[in-house]
Amino acid sequence: MTDTQFKPGLEGVVAAETRLSSVDGSRGELVVGGFVLEELAPRAAFEEVAYLLLYDELPTPAQFDAFRAQLAAARTLPAATEALLRSASAAGVPPMSALVMAAPTLAIGLPDDREGQAVSLLAKLPSVVASYWRFAQGLDAVAPNQELGFAANYLYMLAGSNASPSRERGMETYLNTVVDHGLNASTFTARVIISTHSDLVSAVTGAIGALKGPLHGGAPGPALDMVFEIGKPDRAEPVIREKLERGDRLMGFGHRVYKVRDPRADVLSAAAREMYEADGDVELYRLATHVEGVALAELERQKPGRHLQTNVEFYTALLLHGLGLPAPLFTPTFAIARAAGWIAHCFEQLDTGRLMRPESVYVGRRREWVPLAER
């Protein structure tokens, strides 16, 4: 039966069954591969979470070693990808646009089997982002280090030196936290593309394009800009009060789905605290938590009943900044984690789904044909 009721933004429309993640906005719960986020994200290596999503089990030690080694061996980019990244950096293309441009070139030399394709794409996306960023700074790319895990190697390829264990842990936790989030816009895009039995590279490329939009991949930079603008704790209240009084939105607060605190904000806040205390500017962390507290109190005072809580972007910005990443790399880093979710959704769609083909309601006119000379 066709439901002809138009649902703008597909809100409330259920378009897939998934075992990959569950988002409960009223309880503030995110379950990934059967685990509540708080249990999984701070403990697992990113390879364990990617394996869990792809194979529906946590890996045994032997499976983990084999999967990690496969990923490590597949990090080197095709020459054509590297050439494209060099040209794009010379033209000053923003990193997310460079990622959209480079993703289809990863079809070059792609294995035939779907597991091999998943490994190849997952392994190469961080190399694209790190190499591009270095080219954009006028530096040479850093060759991947096969001894390092996924998160540590990404940091190594960005900086050219090994990250400390606390930074490596911070990156693992970040990647795990954003790996999957229900049928968000980019995941839906990937599932639509693969539902036509197109290919994984096309699905991942389309998903990156969807994530690039500020309404989805967001602009986590501005959340941190507010903390820097405030600068010291006693300025938090007047600055925030003034922003709200003139009708500004506080970046890093509010969410369409979560009406209680976004669990990802909690996990990333704890990860940021550990990382900043071990190896960072702990004053900045303290200032950010103070700003958060003042912002929540002022939002409650000036916007009562709207249930505005800290969202994932606030602590994403703080954590990734502490890991040494500049703001333009925040969304590309989100993409390399979410790619594991996209690919797992593609496999699920191929195994259980049908061609996605919703309906539209025609709101145009009926017309009579008028020959060109008579118009």
Please say which residue, 203 or 240, places its beta carbon nearer to ligand ACO. 240
Please say which residue, 157 or 251, places its beta carbon nearer to ligand ACO. 251
Which residue in 274, 298, 313, 348 is the catalytic one?
313
- Residue 46 sits at φ, ψ, to 5 deg, of -60, -35
CA distance 254 to 305: 12
> By CB under 6 A, is residue 303 in contact with ligand ACO?
yes
Min CB(362)–ligand ACO separation in Å: 28
Binding-site member from 7, 19, 27, 306 for ligand ACO (CB under 6 A): 306
Binding-site member from 149, 254, 280, 353 for ligand ACO (CB under 6 A): 254
Structural tokens at position 209: 């394009």
- What x/- string results for residues 4 through 23 when contact with ligand ACO is judged by CB under 6 A? --------------------
Radius of gyration of the chain (CA): 22
Residue nearest to ligand ACO (CB): 254
Binding-site member from 68, 167, 169, 255 for ligand ACO (CB under 6 A): 255
> By CB under 6 A, is residue 45 in contact with ligand ACO?
no
Q: By CB neighbour count within 10 A (0-12 exposed, 13-18 middle, 19+ buried), where does 270 fall?
A: middle
What count of Cα atoms within 13 Å lies in the side-chain half-sphere of residue 164?
13
Min CB(163)–ligand ACO separation in Å: 25
Binding-site member from 60, 249, 293, 297 for ligand ACO (CB under 6 A): 249
Q: Say whether 197 is catalytic.
A: no
- Residue 29 sits at φ, ψ, to 5 deg, of -120, 135
Which residues is 24 bridged to in the sheet? 29
* Structural contact between residues 246 and 298, judged by C-beta atoms closer than 8 angstroms: no
Which residues is 310 bridged to in the sheet? 253
From residue 143, alpha-carbon distances to 98, 130, 156, 223, 328 in Å are: 19, 10, 9, 33, 22
Please say which residue, 58 or 296, places its beta carbon nearer to ligand ACO. 296
Min CB(296)–ligand ACO separation in Å: 11
Q: Say whether 313 is catalytic.
A: yes
Min CB(226)–ligand ACO separation in Å: 10
- What x/- string results for residues 307 through 346 when contact with ligand ACO is judged by CB under 6 A? -x--xxx---------------------------------
Min CB(307)–ligand ACO separation in Å: 9
> By CB under 6 A, is residue 252 in contact with ligand ACO?
yes
> By CB under 6 A, is residue 253 in contact with ligand ACO?
yes
3-state secondary structure 322-351: HCCCCHHHHHHHHHHHHHHHHHHHHHHHHH
Q: How far is CA 268 from the centre of its chain?
A: 13
- Residue 206 sits at φ, ψ, to 5 deg, of -60, -40
Q: Which positions are annotated as active-site residues? A: 255, 313
Residues contributing to the site for ligand ACO (CB under 6 A): 218, 249-256, 303, 306, 308, 311-313
